[in-house]
Each structure stands twice: as structure tokens, then as C-alpha cells.
Amino acid sequence: MKSYYEVRPGLDALRYLVTYSFLTVLAKRIKKQPQRMFVEIASNIDRHILSEGLFEKGVIDLLRDVCAKTKRTGLMIDIGANIGNHAVALAPMFKQVEAVEPHPVLFRVLEANAIHNHLAHINCHNVGLAGEDSTGTLVATADNHGLNRVEERSKLPPEVFGLSKEEFGTRYAIELKSALTFVSAFSDKLDQAFIKIDVEGMEEEILLSIAPLMKSHKPLVGFEWFTSSQPNMLKFVTSLEGYELWGIRVHDKGTSYLLRSLAMLFKGRTYTFERIDPKALDDVYPLALLVPAGAWA
């Protein structure tokens, strides 16, 4: 009688036993986390979630403090929500969350993560936001679904992420909605809102679009900022009346993975919240924050 192997003897069995045992230990650790996320192990962001429960866990903890102290806990608008890492983690402190994600696959995972964590007050929107109503092409990588760019509008070239144009090989036609129109729908809550913008190179376009609402309602606004690739951002964010420019600084730098790993063993990985000096910018801020003047004293 023919045998059909699930696991072959020898090296295949050894690989199976080691891999399955490691994943089982990891699963037991994940069960203790307050958030439960559907993830794909091939992606960088997801491996962080599998390891620590969240991606950029230190940033999440810092944002909890900033939102609480500035009293912006009525509404969160997560523009570029991906699979919901930030939205799911921060949702318990907000009365309402609007999560925006144009990727047709990640949007389904975002919805699933909101449902899986019993967060009925997260509303998910399968569109992208831009300066006006339009369409675009979302290009994605195979190994890191945190890097999805709107090809026609992103100010960040593939090289910023250490990748080639060819590595952004998966393409989706997406709908783009006016950011001003979308955010205006929540104008009655914007004075108590936190708006997060992480859209791989369209941050400036969205900020310019919602600037009138920022001036009149003073929400707390955070945006990812690659300073050398987005130089025009500086003039806008430093000239916006009624706001102070702060940034989340990463204390884990260097190109050598080995040296960074050794440093982590002795110092860990930390973030601090500091006023941004326009004359001494970091290369990248996971989030720069426009804080209403006087709200963070």
C-alpha cells in the first residue's frame, strides 16, 4: 500500500519539529497579548506583531500618552491603516475610529482584525485619500505589505525603502477620495480628534488638503516623514499657525544589523517625544506630530 508523507524522515522531520515547536511557543506568548491580529509571517510588520504583539509597540504607548494629555480621544482617523495595527491598539481609548485603507486584500484583514478584537466602533473604508476625487494604481511588494505606494502620486521613490521599482510588482486599481471631503464629514468631532497619516509619500498632499480643517478645529495630527525625500513638508508644517512641531525620535540607528542587535541587547529599543528642530532634522520620523499650541505643556 502506498504511503503519503506529511513529514518525511530525517532532515524534513527535524525541520518540522523545530519549526512547529518554535511557532507553538510563540503562539502561547501571543495568546497573552491584549490584541489578537491576523497576520502573514512573510511580512516584516507581521513578524513584529508575532514577536511583540504589535508593530512599533513603543510608538503606540507614546501615542496613548500624547492623545490622553492633549485630550484628543473622541475620534481617531487612521489614514493608511494597513491591517489595523495602530487602529486596533488605540481604539479602546477612542469613542470612534475611522480606518482608511485602499489595498483590497489588507482592507479585508483590517476588517477582520477589528471584528476579531470586538471593536465595533472601528469603521473601515476601502478607499485612498488624496487632494481630490480620482483613481490611482496601488503598487505593493511581495514581502512587506507595509510598503504600498500610489504609483502616480507618491513622493517617495522605491529606493527610499531600499527596493527597486520592479520589486513593487503587485498592482491594484484603487479609488481615491478627497481628503478634505472625507475628514469634513467628522467636523463636529475634530476638536477632539487624532488624525494619523501614513501613506508612503502622499502625506504632504493630504495635509495640504485638510489644512483648512486643521486651522479651524485643531486636531492632533501625526504623519510619517522622510525628510530628505519630502523637503517641501518643512515649510508647511513650520508655518501652520496654532501648532507646534514635535516628533517621535527613534533611538535605534545604523545600517549594521549586527551592531544594532548588540545595542538592543544592552539598551533595548526606545522612542522619545521631542520638539523638532527644523535645522537638525532626523532622516525619518515614524511619526512627526502637529500638536495644537499649548496642548502639550
Q: What is the pLDDT of residues 76-107, one digit of tens each?
A: 999 999 999 999 999 999 999 999 999 999 99
* C-beta separation of 285 from 217 below 8 A: no
Indicate if the pLDDT at residue 33 is higher than 90.
no
List helix spans (H) across the chain. Answer: 11-30, 44-52, 57-69, 85-90, 104-116, 179-184, 203-217, 232-239, 257-267
Residue 66 CB contacts under 8 Å (≥ 6 apart), including other chains:
220, 273, 289, 291, 296
Would you state the torsion angle of the CA atoms of residues 120, 125, 130, 132, taken in this order, to the nearest 10 degrees?
Answer: -120
β-sheet bridge partners, residue 38? none
Cα-flanking dihedrals φ and ψ of residue 133, to 5°?
Answer: -65, 130
pLDDT of residue 258: 80
Listed range (166-175, 213-222, 263-272) with the worst mean pLDDT: 263-272
**Model confidence pLDDT, tens digit, residues 1-30:** 888 889 999 999 999 999 999 999 988 888
For 153-171, what is the mean pLDDT?
Answer: 88
pLDDT of residue 255: 64
For 222-236, what is the mean pLDDT?
Answer: 93
Indicate if the pLDDT at residue 173 is higher than 70.
yes
Indicate if the pLDDT at residue 253 is higher than 70.
no
Indicate if the pLDDT at residue 256 is higher than 90.
no
Coil/strand/helix, residue 206: helix
DSSP 158: G
Indicate if the pLDDT at residue 254 is higher than 70.
no
pLDDT of residue 11: 95
Q: Which fold has domain 38-292?
A: Rossmann fold (3.40.50)
**Domain limits of the chain?**
38-292
Coil/strand/helix, residue 126: coil
